[in-house]
Amino acid sequence: MVAYFTEIYTGLMSLFIGMGITFKEFFKPTVTVAYPYETLTMSSRYRGHIELVEDEEGNPQCVVCGLCEKACPSDCITLAGEKPEGGKKKVLTKYMLDFTKCSLCGSCVESCSFGAIDFSKEYNLASTKKEDFYFDLLKRLEERKK
């Protein structure tokens, strides 16, 4: 009999405690962001697809060593370069990323000893066409320069 009433009492009290919690939450400010109208800044360690890093003059820092291409476990990266006449270093002519296969593992970024590629903060990537996910990173760099 005593157990019966203590159970009712403790049960009832726990309900009131729960209601107290939601009552407090009711008056706290909202924490969500109205997404299409406002966006959050992505954290510094966010991993989007890779992007070429430019030097001071706006040219890619890449020296076309091809280590990222080799490091990629899914063969996402295809790059090509040529040595201009009279120049010392190779110049990047093509850098294609097949984002349909990329798993954002970051091996390419790790393997690059020149700091020439980095993760972007891009996340609005929805599309209905497969071709939209073959990124020409060199072209993106040119567009960024403009």
Partner 1 sequence: MRLTLLNVIVAVVLAIAFAALNAAYLVWAERRGAARIQRRPGPNINGPFGLLQPPLDGIKLMAKQLTIPGGADKIMFITAPVLAMFPAIMSFVTIPFSDSIVAKNMSVGVLMIFAFASMGSMSLLFAGWSSRNKYSMMSSVRAVSQAVAYEIPMLITAITVVMIAGSTDLMEIVHQQSRSFLHWNIFPLLGNSHNILMPFSFLIFFICTLAETNRAPFDLGEAESELVAGFHTEYGSMGFGLFFMGEYANIVIGSCMTTILFLGGWGCPFGLFPGVWWFILKLYLLIATFIWIRWTFPRTTIYGLLNLSWKILIPLSLFNLLFTAGLIKVF
Which residues contact partner 1 (rule: CB under 8 A)?
Answer: 8, 15, 18-19, 21-23, 25-32, 34
* Least separation in angstroms between CB 8 and partner 1: 6
Q: How far is the CB of 37 from partner 1 (least distance, A)?
A: 9
Nearer to partner 1, 28 or 88 (CB): 28
Cβ closest to partner 1, residue 30 vs residue 127? 30
Burial of 52 (0-12, 13-18, 19+ CB in 10 A): buried
What is the three-class DSSP state of 62?
coil
For partner 1, the closer of residues 15 and 104 by Cβ is 15
CB of 20 to partner 1, least distance (A): 9
In the complex, what is the shortest distance from the CB of residue 27 to partner 1, in angstroms, rounded to a whole number? Answer: 8
User: How crowded is residue 24: how many other Cβ atoms within 10 Å of its Cβ?
Assistant: 9
Tokens of 20: 């107290």
| Contact of 120 with 79, CB cutoff 8 Å | no
Among 79, 84, 82, residue whose Cα is nearest residue 94:
79
In the bound state with partner 1, the residue whose beta carbon lies nearer, of 5 and 127, is 5
